[in-house]
Amino acid sequence: MSAKLAGQVAVVTGASKGIGAAIAQHLAAAGAAVVVNYSSSKAGAEKVVAAITKAGGKAIAVQANVAKQEDIVRLFAETKKAFDKVDILVNNAGIYEFAPLENVTAEHFHKQFNLNVLGLLLTTQEAVKHFGPSGGSIVNISSVAATAGLPGAAVYGGTKAAVVAATQSLAKELGPRRIRVNSINPGMVETEGVHAAGIAESDFRKQVESQTPLGRIGQPEDIAPAVVFLASPDASWITGETLYISGGLR
């Protein structure tokens, strides 16, 4: 087990499945103690924790809906209680709903912006209170949708473009406190959510693959190692960056 993150404590939001679960497991494999946050899937989060502890790592599961301020405060209180500090935050929790313009409603808008943007900002706000004098690393999970201009994704793509803008702004704001902030923009990744939405077997998937230079959609394991890199001392002079992990799709 490499110990690139030995002694570090990481909070990963939305980590009960998909990309978040892979990120949590890779951070733990690199030596970090990991808080596996989940909103509703307790069983999923406990499965991730069990996999980490079986591999010799340290992890706990903490329920919190990161669109709610009081839940966010409790998430970091539980983290502090278990591991005494926070060094790494991965803002992975998010939702996506596609809708053509005529179906966009205030509810559709606020549901996504409240979690994908406001939730990310409030989670970051609380996390930095717990970072020590040596700073820390924040990795935001955005999406290729931030810049791809996908039809039906005016709201979702808008949330992810906002994440990129916030990343760059926060990198400058938090740099003097030695807190680095970077964003990862994945392409389509095969997750439980993609299967549940019926996208995994769809013509849309085939279309995406045909437009992707590397000819396939991603797997959670394609994303997680880059998070470990950005969280680690290897990336100590990298902040405000947006890394596309999309097989060349833009």
CATH topology of domain 9-188+220-245: Rossmann fold (3.40.50)
Respond yes or no: is residue 156 known to be catalytic.
yes
Q: What angle do CA 208, 209, 212 make, to 5 degrees?
A: 85
- Select which of 38, 96, 156, 244 is catalytic: 156
Write the burial class of residue 107 (CB in 10 Å: 0-12 exposed, 13-18 middle, 19+ buried). Answer: exposed
Helix boundaries (H) for 9-153: 18-29, 42-54, 69-83, 106-113, 120-130, 145-148
How far is it, in rounded angstroms, from Cα 155 to Cα 208? 20
Instruction: Return the number of other C-beta atoms located less than 10 Å from residue 4's C-beta.
Output: 17
Q: Which two tokens stand for residue 46?
A: 């406990």
Each residue's pLDDT, cut to its tens digit, for the chain (250 residues) gives: 458 999 999 999 999 999 999 999 999 999 999 999 999 999 999 999 999 999 999 999 999 999 999 999 999 999 999 999 999 999 999 999 999 999 999 999 999 999 999 999 999 999 999 999 999 999 999 999 999 999 999 999 999 999 999 999 999 999 999 999 999 999 999 998 888 888 888 998 999 999 999 999 999 999 999 999 999 999 999 999 999 999 999 8
Domain locations in the chain?
9-188+220-245
Q: Strand order of the sheet with strand 88-91?
A: 58-63, 33-38, 9-12, 88-91, 136-141, 179-186, 242-245
pTM exceeds 0.75 for this model? yes
